């Protein structure tokens, strides 16, 4: 087998990577975590979701103790860190194929806290396929989100809102979307194409402490336009207020509910 990297013979490690399923087919799962004060936040929830994704793709899960050790080492490298764990196979997944070994990579680096500035969203022209099994896991095949993020940047927005095949809100490119509707916190369910986000789950846990209901239900653009507030959530960035969705609505941001949820989320021990 010959592998050329930038026109020159590749080193042995690159020759192996060229045949890895993550490189050839996007057949990999990953988790992105925040390290806070030297510790990974919501580690158990991230590993639980990783296990679900690995099972769907037929990847053998490495020993959890080894994964945890590497993640904790990455979290300890900075007061606030962004950590990514990627799990993949070292051979293409298309049959007939010999037994593939599962490999994993952990990367980490410093991550700054968000500045509190509300986000402007653009509605992406590409759709999130709620019928695809990949919409329910953190799969490395992120081309749709990349297309959407590029469209948002070209439109002068911070991020893109992805609609599903029915034209309803699914999620943003790396975050879940919530609307404050009549005092309740509403977010699209997984059946609408939303990923089961770790920060999303934390918001559900927090809602009762504010005397609010948190519920999953379909959200059309018209529902978002009528909402009192809109915000997005992710494990690394936390809770971010949305000030406008181009062509769909605008809100004073951050609103009181978003601000309270943000403060409570940041105070969670994880």
The tokens describing 19, both together, are: 């045949």
| CATH number, span 119-267 | 3.20.10.10
Local confidence band at 269 (pLDDT 50, 70, 90 cut-offs): confident
The neighbour count for residue 11, using CB atoms within 10 Å, is 11
Local confidence band at 23 (pLDDT 50, 70, 90 cut-offs): confident
Residues of the chain with CATH 3.20.10.10: 119-267
Q: What is the pLDDT of residues 82-118, one digit of tens each?
A: 999 999 988 877 876 656 788 899 999 898 888 889 9
Q: pTM of this prediction?
A: 0.93
Q: What is the pLDDT of residues 221-267, one digit of tens each?
A: 999 999 999 999 999 999 999 999 998 889 988 999 999 999 999 99
Give residue 247's pLDDT: 86
| CATH number, span 9-110 | 3.30.470.10
Q: Which of 11-15, 52-56, 96-100 has the highest mean pLDDT?
A: 52-56
Does residue 1 have a pLDDT over 60?
Answer: no
Residues of the chain with CATH 3.30.470.10: 9-110
């Amino acid at each position: 087998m010959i592998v050329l990297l930038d026109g020159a013979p590749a080193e042995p490690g690159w020759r192996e990577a060229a045949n890895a399923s993550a490189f050839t087919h996007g057949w990999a799962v990953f988790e992105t975590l925040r390290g806070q004060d030297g510790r990974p936040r919501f580690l158990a929830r991230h590993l639980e979701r990783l296990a679900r994704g690995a099972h769907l793709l037929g990847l053998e899960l490495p020993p959890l103790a080894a994964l945890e050790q590497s993640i904790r080492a990455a979290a300890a490298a900075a007061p606030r860190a962004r950590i990514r764990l990627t799990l993949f196979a070292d051979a293409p997944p298309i049959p007939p194929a010999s037994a593939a070994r599962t490999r994993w990579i952990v990367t980490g680096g410093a991550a700054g806290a968000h500045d509190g500035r509300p986000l402007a969203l653009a509605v992406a022209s590409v759709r999130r396929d709620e019928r695809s099994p990949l919409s329910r896991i953190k799969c490395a095949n992120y081309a749709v989100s990349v297309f959407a993020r590029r469209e948002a940047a070209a439109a002068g927005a911070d991020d893109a809102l992805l609609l599903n095949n029915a034209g309803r809100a699914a999620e943003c490119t790396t975050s879940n979307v919530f609307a404050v509707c009549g005092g309740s916190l509403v977010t699209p369910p997984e059946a609408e194409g939303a990923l089961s986000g770790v920060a999303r789950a934390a918001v559900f846990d927090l809602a009762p402490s504010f005397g609010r209901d948190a519920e999953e239900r379909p959200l059309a653009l018209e529902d978002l336009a009528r909402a009192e507030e809109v915000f997005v959530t992710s494990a690394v960035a936390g809770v971010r207020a949305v000030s406008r969705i181009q062509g769909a609505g605008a809100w004073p941001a951050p609103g009181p509910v978003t601000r309270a949820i943000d403060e409570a989320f940041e105070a969670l021990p994880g």
